[in-house]
Amino acid sequence: MAIRCYIPTTLTALRSTLTGVRAVAPDAQGRSLRGEEFESAEFDAMCIAAALAANAVFDPADTGSGTEAAPERRVIVAYDAPSPVRPNR
């Protein structure tokens, strides 16, 4: 089963290479839930990613806007990462 992850970033970073980013996802306990409880855990992870994006200080020089120092647009990227494989014991 894949793990839904959320990456807080900017549009400029999204247009280039997403390097050095951190994803937010439900922890192991949250991934073990089912139904509405699982959806709630995923929603919580998305909200955490949104808060990280909103509170992050981004360099206005990276906006690509030239001389204007407009605030950078923040986005949350959602993707499904493969679940880690547990070794057989």
**Mind listing the pLDDT tens digit for each residue in 3-61?**
899 999 888 888 887 777 888 999 888 888 899 999 999 999 999 999 988 887 554 44
**What distance in Å separates the CA atoms of residue 82 and residue 2, rounded to the nearest whole number?**
5
Counting beta carbons within 10 angstroms of the beta carbon of residue 76, is it exposed (0 to 12), middle (13 to 18) or buried (19 or more)?
middle
pLDDT for 47: 95
pLDDT in tens, 56-89: 755 444 444 444 566 778 889 999 988 776 655 5
